Structure 1
Amino acid sequence: MADLENFTNEKLLSLGEAGRGKGIYIHIPFCKQACHYCDFHFSTSLKKKSELVSALQKELILRKDELPDEPIQTIYFGGGTPSLLNLEELNAIFETIYAEFTIAEHPEITLEANPDDLSEDKINELANSKINRLSIGVQSFFEEDLKLMNRAHNAEEALTSIKLAISKFDNISVDLIYGVPGMTNERWQENIQILLDLGIPHISSYALTVEPNTALQKFIEKGKVKPVDDAAAAQHFELLRTTLKNAGFEHYEFSNYGKPGYFSKNNTAYWLGKPYLGIGPSAHSYDGNCRKWNIANNTLYIKAIEKSELPLEVEELSITDCYNEYIMTRLRTHFGVDLGEIETKFGEKYLQYLKGQSVVLFEKELLKIENNVIHITEKGTFLSDGIAADLFYID
């Protein structure tokens, strides 16, 4: 595997259309049950599912002119749990998208799925739809981890769902969570090895985070669950990175690893600052100049859309906002921060500020520069968010 610093935007784009075009994100705000760590918007009641699908279709029509006039390269169903949609509901959404938008010849169309939904019949349904990429939320192959997180599936379902998916889909990503209280290095290594043995080409892996007002936070405060150990999480991260590097994966973003040709085009476009349209309750959109986000309430969202009203807020981005976001996203990736691009996009003031703020980080060997591009070093990788904050411009 090539070293992180040897990657450039051109090399990534040579692998496909990852950084081109625009995308559509569709938020499906339903789950069978609430995971203890999750703070995303969702409902465990499916009563309004059909109404919600109709509202999604109408919002797509209402907002079809918001993106630049170029083909849609990626369509991403996130959530929540998009695999709770049946084939009829998925096809209804696709009919609207294909009727209202120009779609690229070979778009990447991803559906997030939970293992307990992926029966053989469900896999066959999805394989007969326009979905061509599955992102399976396994998180762990061990019962004790799944119970702590309150996942809806068990370890056997996790393994079976992937084996079924492999029979119908080539492009599969699997989510794993590390830093779980009580998870040993050996158990974490086994989680990784299971995916390698199955031949999964893309892995997204995240440290367990204690978000405010979640069940996990309350359990830790009451002593029912041990606190998250940052040192253990850092060890898990290093094990993950080393193991996947040796297995031929590219660590192309802090939480994402892919075999060549299997990088997420949807996520890559986001990190490159490409425009996307977010549809559904709580969904965010970006057009290069402003951000918009829908109300995080299913009932109010549906009522507004039925009246042809858009229940969203808008934030106009300043040049400083755009600079800070560029720093944040690029440092997390193997693209790095291109000094020439900083000067072109944001001007000499921001370039000189960045250079000044970087000096100490270079001295601490947390940053390095090659070919006029700044990258985080291996030493600094697990500290990327803090490093980015040190480079932000504060008005």
Structure 2
Amino acid sequence: MSGIYIHIPFCKQACHYCDFHFSTTRKHQSRMINAICQELKLRNNEINTSINTIYFGGGTPSLLSKTEIDLILQTIHANFEVNLDAEITLEANPDDLSQDYLKELASTEINRLSIGVQSFFEDDLKLMNRAHNAKEAITSVEVAQTYFENISIDLIYGIPEMSTQKWQANLAQVFKFDIPHVSCYALTVEPNTALERFIAKEVIAPVNDDLARKHYDVLQTQMREKGYENYEFSNFGKPDFFSQNNMAYWTGKPYLGIGPSAHSFNGYQRSWSVKHNIKYLKAIEAKQLPLEVEHLTTTDRFNEYIMTRLRTKFGVDLNEVEAKFGLTYRAYLTEQLQALLKDQLVCINSNEVIHVTENNQFLTDGISAELFKLNL
């Protein structure tokens, strides 16, 4: 099964930490929707399996009208085989989720909402330059639950000077509303963002890895106590509410990325579209695909397998490594594991599946890097 990702490159304003591709002018929104539909038609031969997940990301997909969402979904159905029970997610900002808009969304095929709350506290939202306020963060979830059962929210931890008590208060709101899925990300300083500039000018305190780790440890403990499973490093779900889109990505399933800057993956090559709205529009309107393509070597695919699977509850299976990449890669991985096993950073079970040990989950990406193969 495969997935389709739709990138909607528009936002009301720029969040201080964000380095995703977007524009704060919506001048070309209608033209962009038509181009996205055209790209879907141009690439309808790139997926030969049924579609299990459709994900509207961005940017801010909740700036789309019901008519625009319906048009994109109709185009997908006309060009791809979509499973009847496909998960169809729309990312949404709290300030867009009025009762009228939610009622319209509920009349589309959207069956899952991912709400970008980030924090339930006013000062955090101002620091990040989010478009919504604390009251809208709460009311958006309350009203959304009237129309949707499958809801996820995003939260950010490791915000400078955020106390552990404040982070716990954010989690308390999750438990109060019994939100079935939560994605939690450490605040990261990306190049060429407002956050990077403010930290350099000492307007904002530096991001602190020790603080982020404390928050993550609290997150893991409280989520486990409340019945959520940490099925991927940043994602926590109640039973039957794991994100199928996330699961597909972290287990290496193919996906087609549509829209400017969107990435695609077919198992053996990765491609991405031009990160410029006007260049994208002109190319697609000329029925050309503005894509760059990277052909993945066996070593590239091995490293990606390690990076993605070690973050999940599934872990890295030595037998699967041998089946996918060959005995040489299994032998290399077994050798690299020895120091990590000795330091109790990873463990291996009776089925020869490797996991990061519970107390070292926060170090997962660094541990993965220790297992990467650089050269044959």
Q: CA deviation at 1:379?
A: 2.3
Aligned to 1:200: 179
Q: CA deviation at 1:94?
A: 1.0
Q: CA deviation at 1:70?
A: 2.1
Match runs of 1:18-37 below 5 Å: 21-37=1-17
Describe the superposition over 1:100-156 as per-residue Cα deviations: whole angstroms up to 9, x where unpaired: 111101110000000000000010010000000000000000001000000000000
Match runs of 1:254-269 below 5 Å: 254-269=233-248
The answer on 1:231 being equivalent to 2:214 is no
The answer on 1:167 being equivalent to 2:146 is yes
Describe the superposition over 1:184-210 as per-residue Cα deviations: whole angstroms up to 9, x where unpaired: 111100000101110100000000000
The answer on 1:332 being equivalent to 2:311 is yes
SS of match in other structure, 2:358:
coil
How many angstroms apart in 2 are the aligned matches of 1:394 and 1:72?
Answer: 34
Out of 273, 288, 295, the residue aligned to residue 294 of structure 1 is 273
Aligned to 1:382: 362
How many angstroms apart in 2 are the aligned matches of 1:394 and 1:138?
Answer: 39
* CA-based RMSD: 0.5
Aligned to 2:119: 140
Aligned to 2:23: 43
Aligned to 1:154: 133
Q: Which amino acid aligns with 1:270?
A: Y
For this pair of structures, how many residues does the alignment match?
374
Gaps of 5+ in 2: none
| Runs of at least 4 residues off by over 3 Å | none
Q: Which amino acid aligns with 1:336?
A: G
Quick check: 370-379 or 153-162, which moved more? 370-379
Describe the superposition over 1:35-62 as per-residue Cα deviations: whole angstroms up to 9, x where unpaired: 0000000000000100000000000000
The answer on 1:185 being equivalent to 2:164 is yes
Aligned to 2:329: 350
Contact 1:365 1:379 in 2 (8 A): no
Q: Which amino acid aligns with 2:83?
A: A
Aligned to 2:296: 317
Contact 1:178 1:236 in 2 (8 A): yes
Q: Which amino acid aligns with 2:227?
A: G
Aligned to 1:281: 260
Q: CA deviation at 1:378?
A: 1.4
Describe the superposition over 1:284-340 as per-residue Cα deviations: whole angstroms up to 9, x where unpaired: 001111001000000000000000000010001100000000000000001000000
Contact 1:277 1:284 in 2 (8 A): yes
Q: Which amino acid aligns with 1:375?
A: H
How many angstroms apart in 1 are the aligned matches of 2:319 and 2:184?
Answer: 31
How many angstroms apart in 1 are the aligned matches of 2:45 and 2:284?
Answer: 16
How high is the TM-score relative to the length of structure 2? 0.99
How many angstroms apart in 2 are the aligned matches of 1:154 and 1:135?
Answer: 17
Contact 1:78 1:111 in 2 (8 A): yes
How many angstroms apart in 2 are the aligned matches of 1:253 and 1:218?
Answer: 31
How many angstroms apart in 1 are the aligned matches of 2:84 and 2:70?
Answer: 18
Q: Which amino acid aligns with 2:20?
A: F
How many angstroms apart in 2 are the aligned matches of 1:106 and 1:91?
Answer: 17
SS of match in other structure, 1:107:
strand
SS of match in other structure, 1:166:
helix
Structure number with the bigger relative contact order (C-alpha 8 A, sep ≥ 6) is 1
How high is the TM-score relative to the length of structure 1? 0.94
Q: Which amino acid aligns with 1:281?
A: P
Aligned to 1:392: 372
Q: CA deviation at 1:236?
A: 0.4
